[in-house]
A and B are shown apart, each in its own frame.
Chain A
Amino acid sequence: MSLKVIKAGILDTIQDMGRYGYQQLGINPNGAMDKYAMQIANALVGNDLQEAVIELHFPGSVFRFTQPTLIALSGADFSPSINGVPVPLHHCIAVNKKDELQFNKPVSGARAYIAVHGGLEIKEWLQSRSTNLKAGAGGFRGRNLNKNDELLLKSKNDFCYLLQGNDSKILPWFAGFAANEHSPEIFFLPGNEWEWLTEESKKIFTTTPFVITEQSDRMGYRLENTPLITLTNEEVVSSAVGFGTIQLLPVGKLIVLMADHQTTGGYPRVAHVITAHQSRLAQMKTGDEIWFRLTDHQTAEELLVKQQQHLLQLQNACIFRLQEYLHADRY
């Protein structure tokens, strides 16, 4: 009753919405980089939106199922296939015992998600199932997935009857709006030290593209552009930072903090990526361009509320379709 790793990927971890409540102890929140995609995958298989999922980077792990179950894939398109047959993102897929799921090539995006119906049997650490690689805790044994790891499934439901002898079956519902709008536009709110930037630097910030460098990972993305200049040599006493905080390094370069960010920092916080665009940002990779666009709180909050409403609608629709489908099929 499990999902077995038969070949390890480069960095595949268990993640959920993140570990909040412990940043006061220096314990960073972690969690999925693209929480929107993570929640879409959960909705599609009828899960609680916050259920833990597998986050994959390319090249991703190869998995074998030891029982029939329902899965959904979302986020990056790594050209997934089951037993060699391509399967789509953003659908609910019934998979059979001994099926092998693999990811063939990176087509778009940077992080893919697998949700399994009922969720994975992962013990909580400090109220979250997210992997904290730095602390070596949470998720699956506090580390990324290795060959022969076996992820137990919470649900013991047997979906064998759905498959009628097939290897896998794409169920007839999907998340239409989920397809990531691959826009390089990232909305930001000014940070407390925004006014430290010279007018010229503000102009560079808002009117020229920043390129994501190779020094980018789950902790943060370092960005390349003309160095920015501040009007003051004042220093920031260490204070809280967050997912999306854009810090100005002493060399004039920017770093955007991502899911594995430190809890506090002492660099000027020139801006913050709005929460609704963090998902978009999480799917960008080395070499991609970011165009920052100034926005306001009203817009940032409305976009976030809208995302949440979409997710709840999707979840309700999927639960309804799932019940209906399972019922119809059985009788």
Chain B
Amino acid sequence: MNYLNIPYRIFPLGDSAITVDFGNVIDEAVNNEVIGRFHQLKNYPLHGMIEMIPAYSSLTIRYDVCTVRKNTTIDITAFDWMKNKLDELLQLPMSAPQTSSRLLQIPVCYENGFAPDIKQLAAIKNLPVEEVIQVHTAREYKVYMLGFLPGFAYMGELDEKIAIPRKAQPQITFPGSVGIAGKQTGIYPLRSPGGWQIIGRTPLKLFDADREDPTLFQAGDTVKFYSITENNFYEIQNSLSFKRGDWSKV
């Protein structure tokens, strides 16, 4: 993986968090930088840091103001201290790429009952439904970030041929529903109102509170979809061992 020297800007996210912004874009190289820096800070955490939230093109660090201030002189705010530390750190090159190198193969049933929006998408894009499926399963996608719902992965980049804006009105969406919004694709881990165009459903459980790792995806993962029949869907659903690591044998 190639790390560029991407210019960044640091701004406060309130009084207890700080964001490093690499440019307000959806771009794989920028996201690699975010995830690389995320792993770098995970290995060398800053004093008072509580957690990090990597996103498309930004990395946010939550910190404990009282802990940080105990270590600083009265003249400097916790925010300034964090900002200085981050500036120092961002001058350093990252060592070996530490992003996830996992490739996750995700079975998806694109048949009617599971794909309420696929026909309309095909019609708008002037493609046969089969080609929509073929295009969606052809590429490997990168998990840029997780957000919105527990375990919801924002993936990209989608082929322009099947890119379509989200719905005007969110609708109730079932767990496992695979959606498209612009040039992103993603899967709803939980039943939720959602605005993404639903083109299929996976029988895999993307979120399970009882698993040691409750979510299937992590930022940095690579994902490839493959098409299954409705029968396959129920077979997998019934036979699945949901532990992470086991699912890939499906």
Interface positions of A from 239 to 279, Cβ below 8 Å from B: 239-242, 244-245, 262-265, 269, 272-275
Q: Is the CB of A240 within 8 A of B55?
A: yes
Q: Does B178 contact A (CB under 8 A)?
A: no
What B residues does A142 contact at CB under 8 A?
209
Q: Is the CB of A24 within 8 A of B52?
A: yes
Q: Is the CB of A135 within 8 A of B150?
A: yes
Q: Is the CB of B62 within 8 A of A135?
A: no
Q: Is the CB of A263 within 8 A of B13?
A: no
What B residues does A132 contact at CB under 8 A?
150
Q: Is the CB of A23 within 8 A of B145?
A: no
What A residues does B55 contact at CB under 8 A?
237-240, 264
Q: Does A186 contact B (CB under 8 A)?
A: no
Contact A134 to B149, CB < 8 A, known contacts A126-B214, A297-B79: yes
Produce 1/0 per residue, B55-79, CB < 8 A to A: 1111010100110010000000111
Produce 1/0 per residue, B77-111, CB < 8 A to A: 11110000000000000000000000000000000
For the A-B complex, the count of residue pairs with Cβ-Cβ distances under 8 Å equals 147
Q: Is the CB of A26 within 8 A of B150?
A: yes
Q: Is the CB of B24 within 8 A of A237?
A: yes
Q: Does A10 contact B (CB under 8 A)?
A: no
Which residue from B13, B24, B25, B149 sits with its C-beta under 8 Å from A240?
A: B13
Produce 1/0 per residue, A172-215, CB < 8 A to B: 00000000000000000101100000000000000000000000
Interface positions of A from 10 to 61, Cβ below 8 Å from B: 20-28
* Cα–Cα, bound, A295→B199 (Å): 47
Produce 1/0 per residue, B6-21, CB < 8 A to A: 0000011111110101
Q: Is the CB of B78 within 8 A of A301?
A: yes
What A residues does B149 contact at CB under 8 A?
26, 134, 262
Q: Is the CB of B15 within 8 A of A23?
A: no
Q: Is the CB of A24 within 8 A of B53?
A: yes
Q: Does B179 contact A (CB under 8 A)?
A: no
Q: Does B223 contact A (CB under 8 A)?
A: no
* Cα–Cα, bound, A20→B214 (Å): 14
Closest residue of chain A to B184 (Cβ to Cβ) is: A238
* Cα–Cα, bound, A236→B62 (Å): 20
Give, as a whole number of angstroms, the nearest-CB distance from B31 to chain A.
10
Q: Does B225 contact A (CB under 8 A)?
A: no
Which residue from A25, A239, A244 sits with its C-beta under 8 Å from B19?
A: A239
* Cα–Cα, bound, A238→B156 (Å): 14
Q: Is the CB of B16 within 8 A of A135?
A: no
Q: Is the CB of B14 within 8 A of A238?
A: no
Q: Is the CB of A245 within 8 A of B14?
A: yes
What B residues does A308 contact at CB under 8 A?
66
Q: Does A164 contact B (CB under 8 A)?
A: no
Give, as a whole number of angstroms, the nearest-CB distance from B38 to chain A.
8
Q: Does A160 contact B (CB under 8 A)?
A: no
* Cα–Cα, bound, A238→B65 (Å): 25
What A residues does B154 contact at CB under 8 A?
238
Produce 1/0 per residue, A128-145, CB < 8 A to B: 000010111110001000
What B residues does A237 contact at CB under 8 A?
24-26, 55-58
Q: Is the CB of A272 within 8 A of B151?
A: no
Give, as a whole number of angstroms, the nearest-CB distance from B192 to chain A.
8
What B residues does A304 contact at CB under 8 A?
15-16, 65-66
Give, as a whole number of angstroms, the nearest-CB distance from B92 to chain A.
22
Closest residue of chain A to B70 (Cβ to Cβ) is: A305
Which residue from B14, B80, B214 sits with its C-beta under 8 Å from A25?
A: B214
* Cα–Cα, bound, A240→B14 (Å): 11
* Cα–Cα, bound, A304→B67 (Å): 11
Produce 1/0 per residue, B40-62, CB < 8 A to A: 00000000001111111110101
What B residues does A325 contact at CB under 8 A?
none
Q: Is the CB of B214 within 8 A of A301?
A: no
* Cα–Cα, bound, A191→B17 (Å): 12
Which residue from B14, B24, B56 sits with its C-beta under 8 Å from A273?
A: B14
What B residues does A135 contact at CB under 8 A?
150, 190, 207, 209, 214
Q: Does A300 contact B (CB under 8 A)?
A: yes
Q: Is the CB of A23 within 8 A of B53?
A: yes
Closest residue of chain B to A274 (Cβ to Cβ) is: B15
Q: Does B146 contact A (CB under 8 A)?
A: yes
Q: Is the CB of B62 within 8 A of A264?
A: no
Closest residue of chain B to A272 (Cβ to Cβ) is: B14
Q: Is the CB of A24 within 8 A of B146?
A: yes
Q: Does A298 contact B (CB under 8 A)?
A: yes
* Cα–Cα, bound, A142→B210 (Å): 12
What A residues does B214 contact at CB under 8 A?
22, 25, 27, 126, 135, 137
**16 A–B contacts, CB within 8 A, in A order:** A23-B51, A25-B218, A26-B149, A26-B151, A26-B152, A135-B214, A137-B214, A191-B13, A192-B11, A237-B26, A262-B148, A264-B53, A265-B147, A297-B15, A301-B79, A305-B69
- Sort A-B residue pairs by CB-CB distance and give the 3 closest, nearest first: A264-B147, A272-B14, A137-B209
Interface contacts beyond A27-B215, A305-B66: sample of 8 additional A-B pairs, CB < 8 Å, sorted by A: A26-B146, A26-B215, A125-B209, A126-B214, A134-B190, A135-B207, A239-B60, A264-B53
